[in-house]
Amino acid sequence: MPIKLIAIDIDGTLLTPERVISKRVKETLLKAKEAGIKIVLSTGRPLPGVTDYLTELDLRNNGDYAITYNGALVQDTHTGEVISHHTLDIDDFYRVEEMSRKAGVHYHTTTQDAMYTSNKDISAYTVREAMLVQMPLKYRAVEEMDKQISISKMMMIDEPAVLDEGIKQLSEDFVDRYTVLRSEPFYLEILHPSASKGQALKSLIDILGFTQDEVMAIGDNENDLDMIEFAGLGVAMGNAVPKVKENATYVTDTNANDGVATVIEKFALMP
């Protein structure tokens, strides 16, 4: 069955280790789009951190979509229309803030407009994330947080060894309450239980009228796992973590060697 939609993670997948889109990958994606295949960027980043890549790949036209916040938000990139948005509220903020303190790790909260942290000693990883996704970073004491806040995701962030120990402190009830996933060695993401890349991809293809067999998904880390398992053709990058490779249908080359282009040319742009 021909591929009609390709969902692609950004960091570690679409981008090279130098955080750019290679010439070959760009040309291959433009060719796929010209062939009528929908290209959907699927990322943990908020939309402002994706906009430049959408523009570069000509993915801001009528009928183009993006999955952001690790599946919490699905959006039409041309009109800005929200297809689905699974958010958390102030009670979730209080719960995660308290749990992060008990676990001894830094954390931050992300809305559609800004990132917030109540850590006076702001983590370097929070600063890194704010710069990477091009969002303003604001300090707010717990009692100063807007009671009407609509949260797309929260993140516990710290040195990998510190985060490893912190994760061991999370209660079973806490983990069961949310979608909790490790997107980087220094990032643990906490989302609405209905939010994940796989669930977002399912909601999008239902709207478009595609089947799973018509979908390819490409990724490298654990936050890509359910998307890769959902797609008819789930692809792990050569630089993917072992768990992703083990559950993928196919393992392509690394992001340093145009792995995205290689697998699309092989399975979606066959002569």
- Residues annotated as catalytic (active site), given as ranges: 9
Q: Residue 264's CB: how many other CB atoms inside 10 A?
A: 26
Per-residue CA distances from 192 to 2, 20, 70, 171, 232 (Å): 33, 30, 10, 17, 25
> Residue 181: beta bridge partners?
189
CB 244 within 8 A of CB 219: yes
Helices 259-267/23-34 angle, 10° precision:
30
Residue 60's φ and ψ, nearest 5 degrees, are: -125, 30
